[in-house]
Chain A
Amino acid sequence: AQSVTQLDSHVSVSEGTPVLLRCNYSSSYSPSLFWYVQHPNKGLQLLLKYTSAATLVKGINGFEAEFKKSETSFHLTKPSAHMSDAAEYFCVVSDPNDYKLSFGAGTTVTVRA
């Protein structure tokens, strides 16, 4: 069985400051891990994914995430937040032998001018 816990339901940052979104997972296998972003009334856009290659994964729009097996974490960071980063972010885990995704509850990011 697999599961995902996003540790913050809401994160508020000032424009130009770093963003940190925390995600812990549990999985019986070596998982694939993803971060998706969803802007209001839009679909989910893939930010980045980890599939057992480099532990530091770079994604689109300046986001990156680090896979830490010992801590079962996959935290998402961005050095400098932009107003357009205001959205809902989902951490997602997928076992390699399964088609189903397990979603975290989501983290809402607001960016203050």
Chain B
Amino acid sequence: DAMVIQNPRYQVTQFGKPVTLSCSQTLNHNVMYWYQQKSSQAPKLLFHYYDKDFNNEADTPDNFQSRRPNTSFCFLDIRSPGLGDAAMYLCATSRDQGGQAITTDTQYFGPGTRLTVL
């Protein structure tokens, strides 16, 4: 089945120690997103890739970076995790409907990575 896969499902890191979360997809979607979801809150968009074009949300801290080496994979790098970065990180994908602006289809989410910062 086509799907969005996230690894690891649970990640524990130390305060200030860089960490990388991974997302892969078999849907062949051209748009990939990273969300941060804190306890009892809705997901918050950090950034997205439209093909290889990176689009950062205005309020995403510089501590968060992303890489997309190919269509299938996307990584979230947290350079110096703080206690406030402990959260569920969700990857999602969608297919652009075409045209000059992004008019994307449904977003499909992975199972998430639960990050704990000690």
A-to-B contact residues, CB < 8 Å = 32, 34, 36, 41-46, 49, 90, 94, 96-101, 103-106
Task: List residues of B whose CB falls within 8 A of some A CB.
Answer: 4, 6, 31, 40-43, 45, 48, 50, 88, 90, 92, 94, 101-104, 106-112, 114
Taking CB atoms, residues of chain B closer than 8 Å to A44 are: 43, 90, 92, 109
Contact A43 B110 (CB under 8 A): yes
Are A104 and B42 interface neighbours, CB within 8 A? yes
Quick one: which of B102, B108, B112 contacts A98, CB cutoff 8 A? Answer: B102
- Which residue of chain B has its CB nearest to the CB of A96? B103
Kindly state the separation between the CA atoms of A36 and B114 in the bound complex, as whole angstroms. 19
- Asked if B110 contacts A103 (CB within 8 A), the reply is no
Asked if A105 and B102 make an inter-chain contact with CB atoms under 8 angstroms apart, the answer reads no
A43 and B103 within 8 A (CB): no
> 18 additional contacts, CB 8 Å, given A98-B101, A99-B103, A101-B45?
A32-B106, A34-B106, A42-B112, A43-B4, A43-B110, A44-B43, A44-B90, A44-B109, A45-B109, A46-B106, A94-B104, A96-B103, A98-B102, A99-B48, A99-B102, A101-B107, A105-B41, A106-B40
A75 to B45, CA, bound (A): 24
Closest chain-B Cβ to A62's Cβ sits at a distance in Å of 20
Known: A42-B111, A46-B108. A97 touches B43 (CB 8 A): no
Closest B residue, CB atoms, query A6: B42
Report the nearest B residue to A102, measured CB to CB.
Answer: B42
- Chain B residue with the shortest CB-CB distance to A32: B106
Q: Please give the distance in Å from A84's CB to the nearest CB on chain B.
A: 17
Q: CB distance B109 to A43 under 8 Å?
A: yes
Residues of chain A within 8 A of B31, CB atoms compared = 99
- Chain B residues contacting A42 (CB-CB under 8 Å) are 111-112
Which of B42, B90, B94 makes the CB contact (< 8 A) with A43?
A: B90
Q: Give chain A residues whose Cβ lies under 8 Å from the Cβ of B45.
A: 100-101
Using Cβ atoms and an 8 Å threshold, which residues of chain A touch B6?
Answer: 43
**Separation of A34 and B43 alpha carbons in the complex (Å):** 14
Residue of A nearest to B10 (CB): A41
Which residue of the partner chain, among A43, A49, A96, contacts B111 with CB atoms under 8 Å? A43
